[in-house]
Each structure stands twice: as structure tokens, then as C-alpha cells.
């Protein structure tokens, strides 16, 4: 981080985006000029997942103690949304779920890479309905213009693939 800040100070960059949390941890909070509070990350960002074979019940039992129920619900909601929208690495799609007091809030967007068109929606509900909330929000994104955005993304002129 210090190397990048030094390059900024030397005029090699006009601007730089760094993690505010990292700057704060290093005692450099005075260097923060603005934050991207309104941004929505890609689905699953910041969630640590561990995969293991289905037949390894011993690992499932061992790892169960490490699972955070709120994080697991957030992951289920975000993933369900992505499956409805058929998100991939080629689709500018973001979702962020948070849980507080037994309630889940899910924010999501779908757009064109150049930012000329996008849809953004939010849903809230009981944390026990995480997957259903994700599915409903995915449908709302599609209904609000997401289908048209996906169709534009599929066009070769937009960098999409031809079927």
C-alpha cells in the first residue's frame, strides 16, 4: 500500500482506489479523501468458503463450528440471485447481503460495462428466507430492465458471444 501511495504522491497516478479498512489499520486514515460507500461488490466477495467432498461427514462435523449463520444466509441469498440472473464473469452483476436482527437486506445491480444502462434493486425480509429473497430480487432485476441488458451483453458489438 505504501508503494502505491508513494506513486500517487510522485504524480504517477491522478487518483488511486485503496481499501479504506487497510488505510485505517495502517494509521493512514488521513489519506482517505472519499469512499465508495454506494458500490455493490460482485456476488460472494469477502465470504470465505471451504469445499469438501460430500462423503466426508467427519469434515462437515469439524467445520460446522466455524460457520457463521449470518454469513451463510448472505451467501445463499447472493448466490440465488446470481442463478436467477444467470450471472457470470462476463455479466456486470453485483449483490451484497447483510443480516441484522434476524432480517436480511439484499442490494443488487445489473448493468452494461460502460454504465449507460443499469438496474438496481433492494429487498428485505426474514433471514430464514435468504434463498427466496435472492430469487425474488433476481426476478425484479430482470423485470426492471435486466433482460434487455442481458440481451445487449450477448450482442457481438458489446463483446458478447454469438450463439
Query: Does the residue 45 lie in any domain?
Result: no
Identify the CA nearest to 163 among candidates 148, 110, 153.
153
Confidence of residue 56 (pLDDT cuts 50, 70, 90): very high
For residue 19, the enclosing domain spans 2-31
Return all residues near 152 (Cβ < 8 A) that are at least 6 apart: 112, 117, 158, 160
pLDDT at 7: 92
Residue 50 lies in a domain: no
- pLDDT at residue 163 is higher than 50: no
Q: Is residue 73 part of a domain?
A: yes
Does residue 140 share a domain with residue 94?
yes
Q: What is the CA 81 to chain-centroid distance, rounded?
A: 11
Tell me, yes or no, whether 47 lies in a domain.
no
Give domain status of residue 81, yes or no.
yes
Residue 26 C-alpha cell reads as: 495502517
d(CA 4, CA 16): 8
This prediction's pTM: 0.75
pLDDT at 160 over 80: no
| pLDDT tens-digit series, residues 64-103 | 999 999 999 999 999 999 999 987 778 899 999 999 999 9
The position carrying cell 426492471 is 144
Amino acid at each position: 500500500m505504501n508503494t502505491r501511495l508513494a506513486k500517487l504522491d510522485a504524480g504517477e497516478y491522478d487518483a488511486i482506489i485503496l481499501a479504506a479498512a487497510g488505510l485505517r489499520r495502517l494509521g493512514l486514515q488521513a489519506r482517505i479523501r472519499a469512499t465508495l460507500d454506494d458500490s455493490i461488490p460482485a456476488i460472494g466477495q469477502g465470504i470465505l468458503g471451504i469445499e469438501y467432498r460430500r462423503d466426508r461427514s467427519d469434515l462437515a462435523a469439524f467445520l460446522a463450528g466455524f460457520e457463521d449463520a449470518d454469513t451463510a444466509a448472505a451467501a445463499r441469498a447472493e448466490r440465488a440471485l446470481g442463478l436467477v440472473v444467470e450471472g457470470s464473469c462476463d455479466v456486470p452483476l453485483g449483490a451484497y447481503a447483510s443480516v441484522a436482527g434476524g432480517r436480511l437486506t439484499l442490494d443488487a445491480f445489473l448493468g452494461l460495462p460502460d454504465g449507460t444502462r443499469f438496474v438496481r434493486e433492494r429487498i428485505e425480509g426474514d433471514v430464514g428466507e435468504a434463498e427466496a429473497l435472492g430469487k425474488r430480487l433476481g426476478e425484479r432485476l430482470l423485470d426492471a430492465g435486466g433482460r434487455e441488458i442481458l440481451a445487449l451483453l450477448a450482442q457481438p458489438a458489446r463483446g458478447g458471444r454469438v450463439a
